[in-house]
Chain A
Amino acid sequence: MTQAAPGTTSGASYEKLAEQMEKIVLNRISNDQLVLPPMPVIALKCLTLLKNPDFSLKEAASLIERDPILTAQMIKMANSAAMASRDPVQSVLQAVTRFGMQKLRTFLIEASARKVFESRDPRIVEAARGVWEHSLAVAMLARDVVAFSNSGSPDFGYLGGLLHDIGKPIVAAMLLEAEKAILGVKASMTWIGSVEFINIMQRIHRHVGVALAKKWEMPEPVCRSIKDCDEYDNSDRLSVANAVRFSNAVAKQQGLYVGHVDADDIEALVMIGRSLLGLEADVVARLTDGLKNKAKDQMT
């Protein structure tokens, strides 16, 4: 993003614009008119299959095999160190068997979310990659934090972390579409500056993220993790949402974030979170050890 072009929206009126955009988005969400990325067909079919308690692993495997990218990702993950296996997995059926139902579900949602973060627009491709890396770091950390603090299902922690910023690329794409509509083909111009662009995105993305999570039928603790990631819920101390909030702050503290970070704010959030979740400093240090590399590994 560059500075606003003359004649387009300037800093003085962007607040009004942001308000209007927020209203439009909220209105569309409440009327179920907001166009959100659908879950990829194969993932959707497979997740539907998993809802049946008598589902067959073979059927799930044969569905996944129709998507070569999903197949490759699945076998890679099944052979990763995280799965702690000694025998290499060579087929989707083996991978599905090793994953089990819960992990398979998480994998399918992760693969679907990854697609949302893939942008064709060169202006946001790097930022989207950065947000995805941050999300993966928060997800991995939240899974451990939830497990360690006994605050719910670690898999929900993982999904909450993974999806807590999923509204960002969607809003970014919406803003770029709006820009195209306003400016036509004048690609060198922008209608708002980069600061305004980020501020508008920050203001709207949580609404959009929650709407997407609901559309994708995510469990309630996951939706709550996306809804408000900035303040802890003191009334529900040991919750998945608080673990995600804490992990988000820790990831930012570790430099795993795209955008401005207020160091005092983040330090306060980490300090509160440690007491809230009952985590000692040495445990947090151990959980974050090598986090950046793990997130990078999972991106490839």
Chain B
Amino acid sequence: MDADVVAVVDSIADFFERRSDAQAIAAGMSAPANRRRWTALCEMGLPVLRLAEPDGIGAGLLEATAVAERLGAVLLPEPAVATIVLAEAWSTHSRGTDFLDTLCDGSRVTALCGFDTVELSREGELSGHAHIPDDEPTDAVALLAHDRYTGESAIVVVDKTDLPTPESRITLDPTRPTAAVTLDTIEPVDVLRLSDQAADRIRRELALLGAAELVGGMQKVLTDTLDYVKTREQFGRAIGSFQATKHQLADMYIATEQARAAVQSAALEYVAESDFAAAMVASAARWVPRAAVSMFEDAIHLHGAMGYSWEVDVHLHLRRALVTRDVFNRSKVTAEQLFSAIPAGI
């Protein structure tokens, strides 16, 4: 990995270690997303991670998964992964400089919501259903659209003030509350036309980095659970010295490493533009959330009654994994795609 990228990964880890953000997020406040924290992360160059030097850091997708792991470990509420993907996509826009500037300096928080596809009419109006962040700092949302005019795709940016009142609120993951909205003849403030292929690339990158966030959560939960079973004593010994406990932790470690391998190898195939890339991303999107859900359940169990308390934050990781699993299920990056993408054909 490139030294600059390693430095960013380390500085992000250090950022959360120095500040009390991780604890604040886990405390489950009603408004977890925080504009000041987001601005600070933007100053560190998070949004420009994948932009070419000298403006950006020049990281590849594999490096971005390492960054996403750090973000997932602390359950970052702000749309960091979405911004990393959006910034790179938008940098191809010929007249996109102003938007890109405000996106990357954090002055205008624009969340890319790429798992729903809305319709952009020939007249330039939007319709369809979308799931968007339900928090204060979000100023605008970027959606993937089917563009009636070109017959291909587009990223459309909608001002939050133009959005209708949500119909439904998904509150299961309090670190990232989501709202379901129905768009009806809404005019986007900005449009970036794309090929369908480019839109699929965005979906895949979002899914892969979303899975990488879960891997970061798995690593964090594994570390925390190890600490717990080493210090918690029952029957006069650490509960981690009992074979039944050891075996469960060994399985949790295996799940974490397999999840990481699934994500990293998908990133490598993707970067190499291999024939397997789509299948590998679909595999990771399918497998990682399931492995994470199951591993977080085991981690709760191994924390005993404390695992059932709010203050032990494994349940927050579980909540996020449940929501992610469902989002990926509904997206175009599904297991169905996996089968159609396997070159041998199943």
Partners in one complex: no
